[in-house]
Structure 1
Amino acid sequence: MSRTLPFLLLTILPWAATAKPVRLAHRHSGDENPTTTQPAHGQAVGRVVLADGQPAEQVSVMVKGTTIGTSTEADGSFRLRLPAGKQTLAIAYLGYVTQEIEVDVPNRATVTIPAVTLAKSAQQLSEVKVTAGRTINQRPTSVSKMPIRPLDLPQAVVTVNQETLEKQQVLRLSDALVNVPGLYVTSTTGGTQEELGSRGFAYGSNNTFKNGVRFNNGIMPETSSLESMEVLKGSAAILYGNVAAGGVLNLVTKKPKFEQGGSAALRVGSFGFWKPMVDVYGAVGKSDKVAYRLNTSYEQANSYRDEVKSDRFYVNPSLLFKLTPKTDMLVEGDYLRDNRTPDFGIGAVDYVIIPSRSRFLNVPGALNATSQTSTTATLTSRLNDTWQVRAVTGFQHYDNELRSASRPTGSIVQGPAYGNWNRGLQRTETSENYFLAQLDLTGNFHTGFLGHTLLVGADADQYQTNTLAYTNPASPTSASTAVSTYDVINLLDLNREVAQPALRLKGFGDLERNINTQANTRRAGFYAQDLLSFSEKVKALVGLRWSYQETPSDVYYYNTVVNRQPQANGQVLAGTFKQNRRYDNAFSPRLGLIYQPLKTMSVFASYSNSFSPQANTVADLNGQPLPPSVIDQYEVGVKNDLFNGALSANVTAYRIVNSNQIQSVLPTDPRFATASNQNSPQELAGEVTSKGVEVDVQSKPYLGWAVIAGYSYNNTAYTNSNIYTNGSRLRYNPAHTANASLFYTLETGALKGLTAGVTGYYVGDKLAGRNPRLLNPADGKPWATADANKFISIPDYLLFDASLGYTHNRFGLRVKLANLLDELSYNMHDDNSVNPIAPRTFAATFSYKL
């Protein structure tokens, strides 16, 4: 049974016969009945745990015989303002024995109550349906690293819970994005990953996390093991260092439980899709100190894209150790193998999309084989009722081998060759090791009238990346990474016979190793952040981080034209070696002001910044490396819990300015003539501005109904550039997104357990291709002829999904129809990765609870 209880259930507890109607409040709130006056007050703080030592959330803590009370937070802690003098606290939780504790409350001071352990009750209760007890504005998130409610956070946060993920039968992250306005897919380059963006900025591996640890987003993560998906919008640099300005995404996997349980399921769908899934958990033996969980799945499918196939295996084991009543150790493993056909889409000629949904342009034998293995250990110890320490260590290994044709771009020269594409081969091998260590200390205390929720932490991580590229040994440009010709086809007419070049590769085996790039990025950071509570209504979040980053890379060249000395294995380093080194550091401040005129309403304004280091090869006019670009972010918003918490509605407006955007120094610049570096010198003189509005709406279940809705507007454009038109939009970012999901569950009657739902998701117009340029970067002068760069307008689209589910006893069945209107649009990168979205598809999941 869930430990999150609706307030109504508390009235049936044993002590309820002597209590007046209960009015619960939240942490940091003064919870006296406003009609009761007392001459003096103090406060009591404490923590409640269950019999197995786990924190007890949403436990009722009441002053006996009054309406003064509160409920415990996710970590079991509570803080209650109450009249001075002797008081009796009744601590109650459904299924556990109620405890009464006598406290002597000092005037204008705090009394600390020793940790309270609740014992299980022998009383048997009839079946009770438990619904969510907290709104999205009340439940703390792990992505914020602080034990505070989102209502107290001057930043937009969205959490998508497990129930929603299951109702929508989420298969990929893109399926879950329909619940988060302003988070969108920017492209699906190669069809092997989903590249995300928010507020005009791309999420890379730096911005994507699993259980608080970065993961390589070169592979599509598994969603069947997710407990929730957390999105922290806007700046997160103070917590995570070098992250893009749009926000961060954290995937939270399912955790071990001491009660025995689990499920087995089979999902089938269109295009030969099938996927068995198993999830089991429980205590190890009969131990009350060690629990486990194991999620695993296998997936195989064809595709609406001709000749595209996929094959995946996933396993996610975890162990929870109760080392002491105050200390837990959680060890989590994660392994994913993903083999699929690389697919760079349907192609474009002269920035015009070639209409098709299924045409496939890759070569026989193309394969993208990826595996990712990770392990994470998290130690959490409550030092006392004020302080808690959390230490995380993580390791991840990522391997990828890509064998594919190059990205399709046809000739734009008018004549017989118009649309011809020299289809080349590319082959790369990438291996990456990632290490992380992180230590956080959090405390909740007062200094006089001022309340503190303090976070002090440090982290360090390291990427060791090795990338090997292949080329044609017979090519005169074999020292470059250019792909080598396999054949020539015409993108406008695949049946047209085209003359083939004399020099052609027969297959991937003809390619030789060419360039080996070894990077070893090392980062470290120290940060402190404090939520200052001046009163129940006025708060401030202040913080500062210092980050350090090294980005050395070494480049080795194999078998260049000028130096071929094959050894026994046929390969040898050519003796060409290049080193690149960068050392960067940056400060990331944060200031947020929160005003809460009501306990269920928060108005906030904040400033923060993030930083973006430059590439190793970037240098200024004097040949010196450029410092990181610093990006300023401003955000204002309102968060509301309406109708007694039944509905949460949040509105956020933001402005993000990179006023030192990197751009080229043009040859027409007077400084260029006397510069010591005339090889593409750069400077921090451009500006890009992102601005927009986001609306998030979520309800708790009410009479069987549940709603999720949202809207976002964004405009990201050049606002100061020496090449591009000021005001021209940056690519890949939709101007508008909107979403609405409505679910209804029958809670009584013969069809009890029947759930029906519909989801609508709108993505507005986007731009791909390349931004047209005012000047020729090579000479800084207007183009003699028109600039060859052009935009591609990506059509907007509206997706409708419908689902139906039924559970009876241990059995369940869910069916889903996606893209009911069979809308056609594209995810694009430049003009050479044009990937159509999926057509109308069907899926069904059969499940059995163990």
Structure 2
Amino acid sequence: MKFSTVLFFCLCFTVFSAIAQSGTIKGSIITSDGKPASLVNAEIKELQKRSTSNEDGGYSFTNIKKGKYTISVSFVGLHKQEKTVEVFENTITELDFVLSENATQLQDVVVTAAKNLNEKPVAAGKIDINPMDLPQSVTVIGKNVLERQQTLRLSEVLMNTNGVYVMSTSGGSQEEIAGRGYAYNSSNTFKNGVRFNNGTMPEVSALEKVEVLKGSTAILFGNVAAGGVLNLVTKKPAFDKGGEVSFRAGSFGFYKPSIDFYGPLANSKSIAYRINTTFEKAKSFRDEVKSERFYINPSLLIKAGKNTDILLEGDHLKDNRTLDYGTGAINYVIADIPRARFLGAKWSYYNTSQTTATATITHHITDNWQLRNITSYQSFNSDLYGTTRPNSGFLIPSDGTWARGLQKTKNEENYYITQFDLTGKFKTRQMKHQLLAGADADKYQTNAIAHTYANAAINNKNIYDTINIFDPAKFAQRTDIPELAPVTRTYTPISRVGIYAQDLLTITGRLKLLAGVRYTYQQTTGGYIDSLQKNKKVQTSPTINKAFTPRFGIVYQPASSVSLFTSYANSFTLNTGTDIYLQPLAPSYINQFEAGIKTELFKKAVSANVTAYQIVNSNLAQTSLTDANGQPNNNNANIKELAGEVTSKGVEVDIMSNFLHGVSVITGYSYNDTRYTKSNTYIVGSKLRYNPQHTANASAHYTFSKPGKLKGLNIGFIAYYVGERVGGRSTRVQVTDDVYKLMVIPGYTQFDISIGYSFNKISLRTKVSNLLNNLSYNVHDDNSVNPIAPRMISASVAYKL
């Protein structure tokens, strides 16, 4: 730790001392009537360096060598404007453009000049790297797509991202996301750059965009799964007054009023605010199932000086719903019962509350250097009580008679994090650097309280009652709610510290190198298991894990519109249990290789990217087959060895167009194959569960923008395909006549259509999801078999403030 700290501060000192003396070009692009022109392309022709004007019409080029250059401003359908400018060292040269078109004509231009797939840097990357320079596959789903498609859940957003899919909807209360064969658990889900507990479905109405970084991001965040990360970015305060009030209603008693308003605080020029809030209530296509949720997201932006911004954000979600584990399975085959049939007790519930407070301080040291700190606190509480999962405890026999038990848990989680990131651009001789150096520290404190039920009338077994899944009228179901006393409290504190550095080195105009490394130190000490009824507390064994995770990538750009890249990254995952000598188990290291091509076609009207990857976990933790003496008599599943290997490989294709003549298109395809390639426990060559080999997505949207009766009308179409995958439980090779089996889950294609119409400040929208009423399931093991929603209709009206 001491060496790493010294290394970090030495690096920072070296970087500051190496800041290059160069010039800056900046200016504004406005219309002839003085209004700012946003999203207009500007380019230095001699350097093929591009920029895009922001919402205020401003643009800038930094780190420009002394000399004369031609600045070209262009956008689809209009003539280019060019001006010559001379740049001097340590000087800001201002160059403004005035467009001769009026504001009405410019509105169409702004739509066609929007950033494409390869021009949207991701905030989760911690540094503003052009995606064409990044040897990694990234996707950004922006606000316009979210609004046009009338997204309600995160799964609907991800219908625009190939290779990222819902792996299960355990309990009907959360959407478990995965990609490239790996789960995007709470360690892989972020909101505004901070880890976010995804134990409940996040609110989508407050999102500005959703970022997907595929592949390894361990250098940025530590022990995250290899498949990638999600970053949910909420809407931010603004100094122009505005907002929207909306109401949405739909099938099965669904309704959702929402409010979003923003502006300067008391007409201040230095403080702006924003408040998003919504309430949602609905029944369900599932009998007896209902939900209710409330969300509020206040934020405040303070310009503390010319170079310093302070962003304060709050986030609170309360979600109460019926606990629902779906339709069940018999002998690893999905039960043939109606999609709507509910198998739990009517009073079952799963209630969660989540509160987050985040402060982001950004200080611009110079035009090229920036220091940012994010400090955040998050609490997550869950209260679950209901009948057990089908097949949990007692299997459902072929005649459908099932003895239901009870389960009750309460979890309390507190999470703290602070991180510092220093980013900057400088030159050493003829090579350009784009540097990221940082450190972070976070801490989890988790209390898990478990309860048990013992029915005195049935030999103290965990049996609440008996039902028949094929004939609900065969048995009378209990309706009382027994009192369950808490049995154990498990307290788990986890502390983690990380330090990292990364440099994007431009060797020539065409060749770029990305290299970096992270050191992570994690410890679990002070944990315990408290047997509440026996008044006995047992301390858990402390564990310490240390890991270096490197990253290396090469980008070659034969033309400004083409990038070829290849990369290697290493990540790690922590393991529970001990080795055969009862020592804490070492982490499993995962190696990932990625290669691809990113292209911009038809004058950047279309982006088309292809990526191939291979991820190998060559030391997967599995139950040890022997004890410390080499004898095959280990019956303790907590004693493990790093004896397995999982290999994930695949290809992804992404195509996205800008709005061109009112049309936008997003389409993609993903092939993934994830299998056990070595194992002492499971069949070598067998598939890992929940991962479809094939996924595909396509959406098209058209807006009528020409004057006439149809102006303001927009029509959208979405198609989403998820191929066959497997659930159940992987067969164990060392168990004779093993009852575990993999369960086939059928693939499906979902079609959605949406229609909207806007006039003045009013917008009307309607959506039909799962148009063809297709049926499939999201499955966790063999005990949470949740059918996808049938055809549903919703409509909304919105008024802009």
TM over 0.5: yes
2:583 partner letter? Q
Match of 1:39 in 2: none
8 Å contact kept, 1:403–1:508: no
Match of 1:363 in 2: 345
Match of 1:568 in 2: none
Match of 2:412 in 1: 431
TM-score by length of 1: 0.84
Task: From 453, 459, 483, give the equivalent of 1:472.
Answer: 453
Structure-to-structure mapping, 1:351-500, within 5 angstroms: 351-355=332-336, 356-409=338-391, 418-472=399-453, 484-497=462-475
Residue 104 of structure 1: how far off its partner (Å)? 5.3
Match of 1:720 in 2: 678
Task: From 698, 701, 704, give the equivalent of 2:656.
Answer: 698
Task: From 726, 742, 753, give the equivalent of 1:767.
Answer: 726
Match of 2:619 in 1: 660
CA–CA distance in 1 between the matches of 2:166 and 2:38?
Answer: 35
Match of 1:322 in 2: 303
Deviations 1:488-532 (A, max 9, x none): 22234333349x9xxxx9844421010101111111100000000
CA–CA distance in 2 between the matches of 1:225 and 1:490?
Answer: 43
Structure-to-structure mapping, 1:500-515, within 5 angstroms: 507-515=480-488
Partner of 1:549, secondary structure, is: strand
Partner of 2:416, secondary structure, is: strand
Given the alignment of the two structures, is residue 818 of structure 1 paired with residue 769 of structure 2, yes or no?
A: yes
Match of 1:836 in 2: 787
Task: From 515, 528, 535, give the equivalent of 1:554.
Answer: 528
Partner of 1:163, secondary structure, is: helix
Match of 2:3 in 1: none
CA–CA distance in 1 between the matches of 2:100 and 2:563?
Answer: 42
Residue 485 of structure 1: how far off its partner (Å)? 2.1
Structure with bigger gyration radius: 1
Partner of 1:175, secondary structure, is: helix
2:51 partner letter? S
Partner of 1:580, secondary structure, is: coil
Match of 1:178 in 2: 159
CA–CA distance in 2 between the matches of 1:420 and 1:62?
Answer: 71
8 Å contact kept, 1:406–1:483: no
- The change in CA–CA distance for 1:73 and 1:701 in structure 2 (over 3 A counts) is closer
Deviations 1:538-592 (A, max 9, x none): 00100000011112431100114xxxxxxxxxxxxx2242423211111100000
Match of 1:254 in 2: 235
8 Å contact kept, 1:410–1:491: no
Structure-to-structure mapping, 1:126-141, within 5 angstroms: 126=104, 128-129=106-107, 130-131=110-111, 132-141=113-122
- The change in CA–CA distance for 1:688 and 1:56 in structure 2 (over 3 A counts) is farther
Given the alignment of the two structures, is residue 544 of structure 1 paired with residue 555 of structure 2, yes or no?
A: no
1:718 partner letter? Y
CA–CA distance in 1 between the matches of 2:687 and 2:213?
Answer: 24
8 Å contact kept, 2:512–2:554: yes
CA–CA distance in 2 between the matches of 1:145 and 1:396?
Answer: 20
**Structure 1 stretch 360-369 or stretch 243-252: which is displaced more?**
360-369
Match of 1:804 in 2: 755
Deviations 1:100-119 (A, max 9, x none): 997454xxxxx233386989
- The change in CA–CA distance for 1:536 and 1:189 in structure 2 (over 3 A counts) is same
Task: From 112, 131, 135, give the equivalent of 1:154.
Answer: 135
8 Å contact kept, 1:349–1:412: no
Match of 2:572 in 1: 611
- The change in CA–CA distance for 1:801 and 1:673 in structure 2 (over 3 A counts) is closer
1:841 partner letter? M
Residue 668 of structure 1: how far off its partner (Å)? 9.3
Name the % identity.
47
Partner of 1:729, secondary structure, is: coil
Match of 1:71 in 2: 51
Partner of 2:774, secondary structure, is: coil
Task: From 674, 683, 690, give the equivalent of 1:732.
Answer: 690
Deviations 1:687-725 (A, max 9, x none): 000000111111001111100000000010000012222
CA–CA distance in 2 between the matches of 1:402 and 1:524?
Answer: 32
CA–CA distance in 2 between the matches of 1:60 and 1:797?
Answer: 41
**Structure 1 stretch 417-426 or stretch 812-821: which is displaced more?**
417-426
CA–CA distance in 2 between the matches of 1:251 and 1:836?
Answer: 26
Structure-to-structure mapping, 1:583-598, within 5 angstroms: 583-598=544-559
Match of 1:4 in 2: none
CA–CA distance in 1 between the matches of 2:371 and 2:129?
Answer: 16
Given the alignment of the two structures, is residue 285 of structure 1 paired with residue 266 of structure 2, yes or no?
A: yes
2:545 partner letter? D
Residue 133 of structure 1: how far off its partner (Å)? 3.3
Residue 438 of structure 1: how far off its partner (Å)? 0.7
Match of 1:685 in 2: 643
1:544 partner letter? V
How many residue pairs match? The answer is 762
- The change in CA–CA distance for 1:475 and 1:198 in structure 2 (over 3 A counts) is farther
CA–CA distance in 2 between the matches of 1:313 and 1:221?
Answer: 11
CA–CA distance in 2 between the matches of 1:62 and 1:767?
Answer: 50
- Which blocks of at least 5 consecutive residues in structure 1 are unaligned? 1-41, 106-110, 561-573, 777-782
Residue 602 of structure 1: how far off its partner (Å)? 0.4
Deviations 1:367-425 (A, max 9, x none): 1111111111111111012210111010111111111110012899899x953322111
Residue 122 of structure 1: how far off its partner (Å)? 14
Partner of 2:157, secondary structure, is: helix
2:469 partner letter? L
8 Å contact kept, 1:318–1:332: yes
1:521 partner letter? I
CA–CA distance in 1 between the matches of 2:245 and 2:206?
Answer: 12
CA–CA distance in 1 between the matches of 2:637 and 2:104?
Answer: 78
Partner of 1:285, secondary structure, is: helix
Given the alignment of the two structures, is residue 600 of structure 1 paired with residue 579 of structure 2, yes or no?
A: no
CA–CA distance in 2 between the matches of 1:76 and 1:539?
Answer: 24
8 Å contact kept, 1:58–1:71: no
Deviations 1:450-505 (A, max 9, x none): 11000000111111111111123677999xxx98321122234333349x9xxxx9
Residue 79 of structure 1: how far off its partner (Å)? 3.8
Partner of 2:716, secondary structure, is: strand
Task: From 305, 313, 316, give the equivalent of 1:332.
Answer: 313
- Which blocks of at least 5 consecutive residues in structure 2 are unaligned? 1-20, 31-35, 76-80
Partner of 1:137, secondary structure, is: helix
Given the alignment of the two structures, is residue 263 of structure 1 paired with residue 244 of structure 2, yes or no?
A: yes
Given the alignment of the two structures, is residue 534 of structure 1 paired with residue 495 of structure 2, yes or no?
A: no
Task: From 45, 68, 85, give the equivalent of 2:24.
Answer: 45
8 Å contact kept, 1:180–1:710: yes
- The change in CA–CA distance for 1:58 and 1:729 in structure 2 (over 3 A counts) is same
TM-score by length of 2: 0.89
CA–CA distance in 2 between the matches of 1:335 and 1:581?
Answer: 33
Structure-to-structure mapping, 1:199-278, within 5 angstroms: 199-278=180-259
8 Å contact kept, 1:349–1:491: no
Match of 1:780 in 2: none
- The change in CA–CA distance for 1:323 and 1:57 in structure 2 (over 3 A counts) is farther
Task: From 577, 601, 606, give the equivalent of 2:538.
Answer: 577
Residue 326 of structure 1: how far off its partner (Å)? 1.2
* Alignment root-mean-square deviation, CA: 3.2
Match of 1:644 in 2: 603
- The change in CA–CA distance for 1:114 and 1:138 in structure 2 (over 3 A counts) is same
Residue 264 of structure 1: how far off its partner (Å)? 0.7
Match of 1:26 in 2: none
Given the alignment of the two structures, is residue 790 of structure 1 paired with residue 770 of structure 2, yes or no?
A: no
Task: From 497, 517, 523, give the equivalent of 1:524.
Answer: 497
- The change in CA–CA distance for 1:472 and 1:413 in structure 2 (over 3 A counts) is closer
